[in-house]
Amino acid sequence: MSDARLMQGNEAAAEGALAAGCRFYAGYPITPSSELMEHMAKRLPELGGAFIQMEDEIGSIAAVIGASWAGAKAMTATSGPGLSLMQENIGYAVMTEAPCVIVNVMRAGPCTGQATKPAAGDVMQVRWGSHGDYQIIALSPWSVQEMFDMSVRAFNLAETYRVPVFLLADEAVAHLREGCVIPASVPVVNRKKEPGKAPFGGEQVPPMPAFGEGEKVLVTGSTHDEWGYRKSADPNIQEQLIRRLSEKITANASAIVETESHWLDDADVLIVAYGIVARSSMKAVKVLREQGVKAGLLRLKTLWPFPEDAVRLAAEGKRLIIVPEMNLGQVALEVERVVRHDVVCVAGVRGEVLRPEPIIEAVNNNG
């Protein structure tokens, strides 16, 4: 008998967070992510954690960052409109290197758009939504199991690199109900602590004290030196800080990035997909293979940092590259940047899961 339990994607992400040690949640209701918050409201008190429904998304992410600095593993969940409100403070989490996890369940936009329908329009919002130069990490689940697994991984990456990590799900995966195995234990990473050491420099990812430990930590979103003193007029300190915040992610991209290859060994057609559309793409590859087309799939489990090496390698020698996605080509542009020639984007912007048929058709029409 399988250990799998029938679970919803949002619930699985909440359980993954708890397994990873999350003990603080602040959020604001928004479709299609609210079930995650409701699950946390019930479960966190059982585990001695704290839950609060804040007055808006700006306050939610602020409370998450405050809790992170007070020593807790903390998360929030939202959707596009809420994420837009969080962006300034996501920059604060980047700048103060506060580990936190943001589950963004993508719905069709812009604005209120189709509140209950799936999309993948926030790929660039999670990457560039706050102002300034910075790097974040974004993971893209395609199943309920991965909502659990990637939620765990999101916390571990956040703690390792002291950075906000996005679990970038879509409405379809978040509301999907399917089997999910919750293991007895999961690998858990905790932020590094070295009392007396500088919390904002000296090494790529400095140790992180918490409020209340007597470290008299000085936290600011302004440009600061390694001890947290504001140095907002010093060009050298600004450059050092901005470069370190980015390089701690880019230099470790090979450890962060995960992709999955299907039927790529002999393929001459490459499909690059992520999220729920990777499932449609799997089906498309199977049908195309039956038709005699040598198609293969590269599934991006990490979207940011962008899996440049894996995409470049997979694209070698392919006569056609197809990027199906539920937006007008956000990842297709990234793939073009990496492979340095045109790719075909199969754009699904109807608020429906992009089906295998248009992907198959695009391959056949570009034969």
Partner 1 sequence: MAEFDVHINTDLIRSGAMPSPFCAGCGHGILMGTILRAINEMTDANGKPLSMDDFLFVSGIGCAGWIVSPHFNADTMHTTHGRPIAFATGAKLANPKLKVVVISGDGDLSAIGGNHLIHAARRNIDLTVICANNEIYGMTGGQVSPATPETKRTTTTPVGNPDRAFDICKLVEAAGADFVARWSVHQARPLVKSIRKAINHNGFSFIEVMSPCPTHYGRLNALGEPFDLIDDLKKRSVPVQKAENMTAEELDGRIVTGQIKEP
Residue from the set 67, 83, 150, 208 that interacts with partner 1 by CB under 8 A: 67
**Piece of the chain touching partner 1 by CB under 8 A; list 104-112, 144-152, 168-176, 204-212:** 204-212
Q: 39-44: long-range contacts (C-beta < 8 A, 24 or more apart)?
A: 39/10, 39/11, 39/14, 39/15, 40/14, 40/75, 43/14, 43/15, 43/18, 44/18
Contact residue for partner 1 among 220, 238, 246, 259 (CB under 8 A): 220
Return the C-alpha torsion angle 27, 276, 158, 201, nearest 10. -110
Q: How many whole angstroms separate alpha carbon 267 and alpha carbon 269?
A: 6
Decide if residue 174 touches partner 1 (CB under 8 A): no
Which range, of 49-57, 176-184, 236-244, 287-295, touches partner 1 by CB under 8 A?
Answer: 49-57
Work out whether 24 is an interface residue with partner 1 (CB under 8 A): yes
Q: Nearest distance from residue 66's CB to partner 1, in Å?
A: 3
Query: How many Cβ atoms from other residues are within 10 Å of residue 140's Cβ?
Result: 29
Q: Of 68 and 79, which has the nearer Cβ to partner 1? A: 68
47 secondary structure, DSSP code: T
Q: Round the CA-based radius of gyration of the chain to a whole number and report it.
A: 21
Distance CA 191, CA 332 (A): 35
Angle at Cα 307 formed by Cα 152 and Cα 293, nearest 5°? 110
Q: Rounded to an integer, what distance in angstroms lies between the CA atom of residue 159 and that of residue 213?
A: 18
Tell me how far apart the alpha carbons of residues 59 and 55 are, in angstroms, rounded to a whole number: 6
Stretch that binds partner 1, among 64-72, 102-110, 131-139, 270-278 (CB under 8 A): 64-72
Does residue 41 interact with partner 1 by CB under 8 A?
no
Closer to partner 1 at the Cβ: 227 or 328?
A: 227
In this complex, which beta carbon is closest to partner 1, that of residue 116 or of residue 222? Answer: 222
- Residue 346's contacts (CB-CB under 8 Å, 6 or more residues apart) are 322, 323, 324, 325, 354, 358, 359, 362
Question: Letter for the amino acid at 343?
Answer: V
Task: Answer yes or no whether residue 212 interacts with partner 1 by CB under 8 A.
Answer: yes
- Judged by CB under 8 A, the chain residues 142 through 161 that form the site for partner 1 are none
**What does the alpha-carbon distance between residue 92 and residue 75 come to, in Å, rounded to a whole number?**
15
- The residue (of 52 and 182) whose beta carbon lies closer to partner 1 is 52
Q: Closest separation between CB of residue 292 and partner 1, Å?
A: 57
Q: Give the position of tokens 């600011």.
A: 220
Answer for which of 4, 6, 188, 218 binds partner 1 (CB under 8 A) is: 218
Residue 83 as a binder of partner 1 (CB under 8 A): the answer is no
Asked if 253 is part of the footprint of partner 1 (rule: CB under 8 A), the reply reads no
**What minimum distance in Å lies between the beta carbon of 233 and partner 1?**
12
Site for partner 1 in 292-331 (CB under 8 A): none
Residue 347 near partner 1 by CB under 8 A: no
Q: Packing angle between helix 9-19 and helix 144-161, nearest 10 degrees?
A: 40
Residues engaged in binding partner 1 (CB under 8 A): 23-24, 26, 50, 52, 54-56, 58-60, 62-72, 74, 88-89, 92, 210-212, 214-222, 228-230
